[in-house]
Amino acid sequence: MNPELQAGLVGRVLDHLAAGTTDMAPAERAVAAGRYLSAARYQVEQQALFRGLPLVLGEASAIANPGDFITTDDYGVPLLITRDAAGTVHALLNACTHRGSLLTTAARGCGKQAFTCPYHGWVFANDGRLRHVTHGACFPETEKDRHGLVAMPVAERHGLIWVGLEPGRPLDVARFTAEAAADLDWLELADCVAFRPFTVTCRSNWKLVVEGFVEQYHLYYAHPRVTSAYYSDAVVIDRLGPHQRLVAPRSTMASQAKVGRHRWRLRPVASIAYYLFPNTMVIAHPDHVALVRIVPVTVDSCTVHWTMLIPRAASDATWTPHWERARESHLTTFAEDVALTDGIQAGMQGGAVPDTVIGRNEWGVINCIDSIDGYLDALGQTL
């Protein structure tokens, strides 16, 4: 993000603080509770969004070196993500092409050039090629070059690993992130490493969790403990294609009014949240970034993977107490959000609230709704 854009965003925030205002949607929006309850809608979303779009699987630094690997079964698809000797990233089905056994149950590892199936001993290189068939004479028609692991579309971009969940389907991350690319590169995520990730199970529809990240309206009511860090519940919002950027002023923002515009810099005085369509948040704080992936499990449950990405240069033991405090703050604040979204889901399921209303000051939520529904409409999946 260039200095002029940063100064422009700081200026917009300062104007809101002076006026006691915030960015507002043109109109409020009525939203049916069925959006979060319908099993039929959930199945459409699973196929259209989570099989058809590039999805963030994690930070690229998780597999920084050749031989590194991670595994996941998010979205019901067991994946093995590897980096081969040439440095190329591969996304492979974690399933032996003999009988379908998982090749590894390890969450991550390093120095792994090949994977041996624990069932019958078939061996696969970390680029997916089938290297060895035990008792090969018993498989005279099995050609090794046609029985490698199933490759999934994958890309490494903006310091993140992106995957597609349909084999053979083109994955154009550059086009998908075009309007957010400069911002994402500004964060320099490739130079960050993970600090003690955590996972939370939510008893709510995945969209409710996403929507909690894109509005500040609830800040003073749901999170009174952290409000001292923020100047107000004002927010500046910009659409970046199907994605969004939301700038929330921290308590240090007021200091910018005392210095010249040419010295305005955004990140030290704000939290900048990026909604990456359809289900990922990248939240830049002054000294670290939170990567939050909201993964649907059922119509009324989801799993949230939260990773603090810290500068590699500040990852030695002397920094650990600082990062532990930040992590505890994230855990506590998100637990408050989860209690609320779980309660919203329970209230909707009880049938007492057939319709909800989204205020003009919840423009980020309206934008999320429009991104999702606009994409489904374009596919002829109007709901």
Backbone φ and ψ of 344, nearest 5°: -60, -45
Confidence at residue 43, expressed as pLDDT on a 0 to 100 scale: 95
Query: Is residue 197 within 8 Å of 358, Cβ to Cβ?
Result: no
Q: Which two tokens stand for residue 49?
A: 């969004």
Distances (CA, A) of 317 to 47, 195, 285, 288, 363: 44, 11, 21, 16, 41
- Concatenating the DSSP letter of every residue in 169-231 gives ----HHHHTTTTHHHHHHTTGGGEEEEEEEEEEESS-HHHHHHHTS--TTHHHH-TTTGGGBS
Angle at 28 between CA 27 and CA 33, to 5 degrees: 145
Reported confidence tier of residue 231, pLDDT bands at 50, 70, 90: low
Confidence at residue 229, expressed as pLDDT on a 0 to 100 scale: 60
Confidence at residue 121, expressed as pLDDT on a 0 to 100 scale: 96
334-347 average pLDDT score:
94
Reported confidence tier of residue 227, pLDDT bands at 50, 70, 90: low
For the stretch 307-331, pLDDT in tens is 999 999 999 999 999 999 999 999 9
Average pLDDT of every residue of the chain: 94
Q: For residue 285, how many other CB atoms are within 10 A of its CB?
A: 19
pLDDT value at 220 more than 90: no
333-346 average pLDDT score:
94
Percent of the chain clearing pLDDT 90 (strictly above): 86
User: How many Cα atoms occupy the beta-carbon half-sphere of 247 within 13 Å?
Assistant: 26
Residue 129 DSSP label: -
Q: What does the domain layout of the chain look like in residue ranges?
A: 3-52+179-378, 55-171
Reported confidence tier of residue 219, pLDDT bands at 50, 70, 90: confident
Confidence at residue 383, expressed as pLDDT on a 0 to 100 scale: 66
For the stretch 153-195, pLDDT in tens is 999 999 999 999 999 999 999 999 999 999 999 999 999 999 9
pLDDT value at 135 more than 70: yes
Confidence at residue 230, expressed as pLDDT on a 0 to 100 scale: 62
Confidence at residue 59, expressed as pLDDT on a 0 to 100 scale: 97
109-125 average pLDDT score:
96
- Angle, helix 363-378 to helix 39-48, in steps of 10 degrees: 70
Q: Which residue has the higher pLDDT, 223 or 118?
A: 118
Query: Is residue 79 within 8 Å of 143, Cβ to Cβ?
Result: no
Confidence at residue 308, expressed as pLDDT on a 0 to 100 scale: 97
282-309 average pLDDT score:
97
Those residues with Cβ within 8 angstroms of residue 175's Cβ, 6 or more apart along the chain or in another chain: none
230-244 average pLDDT score:
89
* 333-347 residues labelled b (16+ CB within 10 A) or e (exposed): ebeebbebbbebbee
- The domain defined by 3-52+179-378 folds into Naphthalene 1,2-dioxygenase Alpha Subunit; Chain A, domain 1 (3.90.380)
CA distance linking residue 97 with residue 84, whole number of Å? 20
User: How many Cα atoms occupy the beta-carbon half-sphere of 128 within 13 Å?
Assistant: 21
CATH C-level class of 55-171: mainly beta
